[in-house]
Amino acid sequence: PISSLPGETGNNEMGLVFGLQKPSSSLWEAGKGLKLAENQLYSDFVVHEIGKEGETIHLDDFSVPVDKEDPPEEIFTVLSPEEKQRLEDLQLFKNKESSVSIEVIEDTKEKRTIIHQAVKSLFPGLETKTENQDGKKCIVAYHAAGKKSLANPRKHSWPKSRGNYCHFVLYKENKDTMDAINMLSKYLRVKPTIFSYMGTKDKRAITVQKIAVLKITAQRLAHLNKCLMNCKLGNFSYKNHPLKLGELQGNHFTVEISPGLMDEVKQAIVFLLIIWYNLTKCVWIFRAILQSNWNEAIDLILKPRPGVERGSLVKCREEWARTKDPAAAFKTLLQKRCVEGQLLWGLSKYGLKNIVSAFNMITRNYRLMYIHSYQSYVWNNMVSQRIEEYGLRAVPGDLVLKGGTAVHIEEVDVDNYTIHEVVMPLPGFDVIYPKHKIGESYKEMLASDNLDINNMKHKIRDYSLSGAYRKIIIRPQNVSWELIEYDDPKIPLFTTDLDKLEGKVPATLARGKYKALKMEFSLPPSAYATMAIREVLKLDTSIKSQSQLNTTWLR
């Protein structure tokens, strides 16, 4: 603990600890005056992914790798908007045309070559040929390999010397990872499944993370920067492998918090709090899946949620509740690549008689999120019981990791361990449980959901729970803090990666009537900064609640 805070900056010597304990009474009194920034200005909550080699991911380079195999830049402008729309409709089988003809106005070999390249590059699955039609030279686009060609980009057009995957950094503002990927796939006219990533990121934030995509050129991705809203792509490279969920080492957070009682916060800046995993409706969806109650799972995804959403999604849910007609509900959606759209498309295609196939139309990463949410829900409850029963000390029967393998603490060894080494299992078929009474609590909780702790394998492989281990207490790394004074509550207080690339100079902050606490720290995967701050401040962090706060307290 820090005995005093004489200055207005801090670093790792703070010893900021995230643990399983309520904050002290002095911090709680100070915390009552704090308001979270991230639900007022999303720019007050910034997340940088930490890669599998321990590097912090930044967007700091817009350049495209030089490759003689890439077509000229003209491919992006040679086709008219009308021609692009006809080609997209052909590519996606949206009309009965078997081909699309594009008249060559400037009939030269170079011009024809560029049009050929434009069609093949921008519309995966289409091939081209040159024909004379009514005395005019035309480029004819057609499907070469049926509907499967859309999911499998042409192999012969990709240089053998180049890695099959283009890795890039995605910078996004106020948009979650899957929404960003759905947007990219729409612009690129490919399926979202060809993208891979190490972890999902919050919506109400500025986030920076690594993405990989199969056989899409850096040149084509970079061109999207001209039309993307709230997203930028950069730091391109070619690799021979995709990215996998969970490969990241964690995330680095920069958070702005405005205190109502700053003097008291200065004296209580070191605190303990519970790292809760993020809980959403996903918990109940996956519980229904585990119980093979597919109708309930579908209803949980599609039923109306009053006051939570707006626009076509509300109409979609209302139509589903009224008619249970997937095709009719699907038509009401403007953004059809969302989870609801994917599920409704599956139900339209397969019907209720093949409901599992319909459900599998949801992107796999979303379905994995349901699994992880249920496991986290159980973990949270069991950790609460563990701390209530045994406190913040290692006890016989607890679990610790040795070389990646979980073992029980025996009575004779208990003094060799601290609470910082104790782990608790996410439920699954490949984990062991504590030997004390919390092990029995796992069994009872799963049984209350009609699940057998000794049989966590689902008949559908994707929904089997293998399990994992998480430490009860996480100590953040790379911790620093700074007190900032300002006058305008609507301006960002620090520069982002994009600001730096665009040469924007941060505003000079003179002494002002408002004060903010800027905190930076790194957390491992599955430890959520938003949940941590919520526990410290004892706040409702929902958008609805935060939007009702007086702006003089918001930062």
Nearest to 212 by CA among 244, 183, 242: 242
Nearest to 264 by CA among 485, 481, 33: 33
Torsion of CA 519, 521, 526, 527, to 10 degrees: -60
Cβ neighbours of residue 457 under 8 Å, at least 6 residues apart? 429, 464, 465
Q: Which stretches does DSSP call E strand in 373-429?
A: 399-402, 405-408, 422-426
Instruction: Identify whether the C-beta of residue 197 lies closer than 8 Å to the C-beta of residue 187.
Output: no
Cβ neighbours of residue 106 under 8 Å, at least 6 residues apart? none
DSSP 504: P
Q: Which stretches does DSSP call E strand in 343-476?
A: 399-402, 405-408, 422-426, 468-471
Nearest to 248 by CA among 54, 401, 458: 54
Cβ neighbours of residue 140 under 8 Å, at least 6 residues apart? 99, 100, 101, 102, 128, 129, 130, 131
Instruction: Identify whether the C-beta of residue 435 lies closer than 8 Å to the C-beta of residue 446.
Output: no
Spell out the long-range contacts of 308-311 with Cβ–Cβ below 8 A and sequence spacing 24 or more.
none
Instruction: Identify whether the C-beta of residue 194 lies closer than 8 Å to the C-beta of residue 213.
Output: yes
Q: Which two tokens stand for residue 286?
A: 């996956």
Residue type, 308: V
Query: Which one is catalytic: 202, 263, 398, 497?
Result: 202
Q: Which two tokens stand for residue 263?
A: 């003097």
- Per-residue b or e along 434-445, where b marks 16 or more CB atoms closer than 10 Å to that residue's CB: bbbebbebbeeb
Is 179 catalytic? The answer is no
How many Å is the Cα radius of gyration of the chain?
27
Nearest to 533 by CA among 318, 275, 254, 293: 275
- For residue 405, what are the β-bridge partners? 402
Q: What is the rounded end-to-end Cα distance, in angstroms, of the chain? A: 27
Q: Which two tokens stand for residue 140?
A: 């004819």
Distances (CA, A) of 29 to 191, 268, 485, 486: 51, 10, 22, 24
> Please, is 142 exposed, middle or buried when counting C-beta atoms within 10 Å of its C-beta (0-12, 13-18, 19+)?
middle
Instruction: Identify whether the C-beta of residue 239 lies closer than 8 Å to the C-beta of residue 212.
Output: yes
Instruction: Identify whether the C-beta of residue 107 lies closer than 8 Å to the C-beta of residue 125.
Output: no
Three-state secondary structure call for residue 425: strand
Q: Which residues are identified as catalytic?
A: 202
